[in-house]
Amino acid sequence: MKGQDVRTQVAIIGAGPAGLLLGQLLHSYGIDNIILERKDRDYVLARIRAGVLEQGTVAQLEQLGITARLHQEGLVHDGIELLFGGTRHRIDLKQATGGKTVTVYGQTEVTRDLMDARQAAGLVTVYDADSVSLHDFGGVSPRVCYVKDGITHEIACDFIAGCDGSHGVSRASVPAQSIQTYERVYPFGWLGLLSDTPPVSPELIYANHPKGFALCSMRSPRRSRYYVQCALDERIENWSDDRFWDELRSRLDEEAAETLVTGPSLEKSIAPLRSFVAEPMRFGTLFLAGDAAHIVPPTGAKGLNLAASDVHYLSQALREFYADKSSAGLDAYSTRALARVWKAVRFSWWMTSMMHRFPDTDAFGAKIQAAELDYVIHSPIATASLAENYVGLPY
């Protein structure tokens, strides 16, 4: 059965933070858009993701007027701590960058705020959209088809924004000969645990330890998120809460190990780490943004923030197209976005290489890591470089 065809200016694939942020920005510019999401709202909100926001990401949310909850519940951080050799060393992000900070606010909460704002504005989001397919995006009359409740629908549009992640239909719809991919798969994963316990430190602790990397993070003053590096073949059912807490404690400094508050896990999962970039990010009237185009290991806290910078470039380009009848921004989108993407990929790779124990790390490699860390904390230039990248490079 076929439903009634509709038309919009921009069809957005994916109702994650990239698609939702793009939709709200376009709406604020008077550009019509429809979002298609293959899962339901609850499923999208159940995804556990990172929560360190760059100032540029926060600024875009402020532009949309949807930061009331973020400013009430988000935690502004002026620094991070690097732990190695049994000692913590603080990197003062604010001082090293001339006043820039990051805000700890869960990606799930960002998604919820964007969903609520979109609903309040009466904008169309189609959840449970099955069999989404992209058509004719190589020309000037692209279409998106999908099935909802057994009925096939078609959306005619000017442009398609693929914001549907690394396993979505958008990138997969591009002919193989038109796209080039670059990938680095890391030989370990992160075992993460979420708990309703107070964080062990007011700022994030990145730990380099002979047993492997560890990260102490948080979602709020009462909810913590912890990670330990693990082998890729680890099975989550082999990790009881007690085993996780014991392993984490063994990788922390003495003070943190003694003050760590443990409790039952709300969620445990193992995530593999990889770096991935697809080039270009434009194919005719199809534009990729966020995880549909690139993946970074979470060590540098760049995933959501890279999606936000892509959306900034794309929303500005579409605004210029409709307001000024100029395609210059659209033509430059891929080049501009990828220039920032690759810098973030480099930083995330560097942080991962410096903080983790690789299977082939020998005594020489361990000494090189120690020397790198010592240089970072004692050289003002090296400290500033880490801080500049961590708080986010300018758009």
Residues catalogued as catalytic: 77, 206, 298, 302, 390
The answer for residues whose C-beta is within 8 angstroms of residue 82's C-beta and 6 or more apart is: 88, 89, 91, 206, 208, 373, 376, 377
CA-CA-CA-CA torsion sign (9, 15, 18, 21): positive
Give strand pairing partners of 48.
none
Q: Across the chain, how many H-helices and E-strands are there?
A: 13, 21
List, in order, residues 6 or more apart from 132 with CB less than 8 Å away: 13, 36, 38, 144, 145, 146, 169
Residues 144 and 47: beta-carbon distance below 8 Å? no
Q: Are 264 and 242 in contact (CB under 8 A)?
A: no
d(CA 153, CA 3): 5
Instruction: Mark residue 224 as left, alpha or beta (left: phi above 0; alpha: psi -120 to 50; beta: remaining).
Output: beta
Contact 300, 364 (CB under 8 A): no
What angle, 0 to 180 degrees and rounded to 10, lies between the N-to-C axes of helices 107-120 and 17-28? 40
Helix/strand/coil for 215? strand
Tell me the angle at which helices 380-391 and 363-378 cross, rounded to the nearest 10 degrees.
Answer: 90
Indicate the DSSP class of residue 298. Answer: G
Peptide bond between residue 280 and the one before it cis (omega within 30 degrees of 0)? yes
How far is it, in rounded angstroms, from Cα 164 to Cα 129?
12
- Which of 180, 168, 140 is CA-nearest to residue 330? 140
What are the structure tokens assigned to 13, written together? 């694939």
3-state secondary structure of 167: coil
Residues ≥6 apart with Cβ < 8 Å to 12: 19, 22, 23, 33, 34, 35, 36, 160, 161, 163
Measured in Å, how far apart are the chain's first and last C-alpha atoms?
46
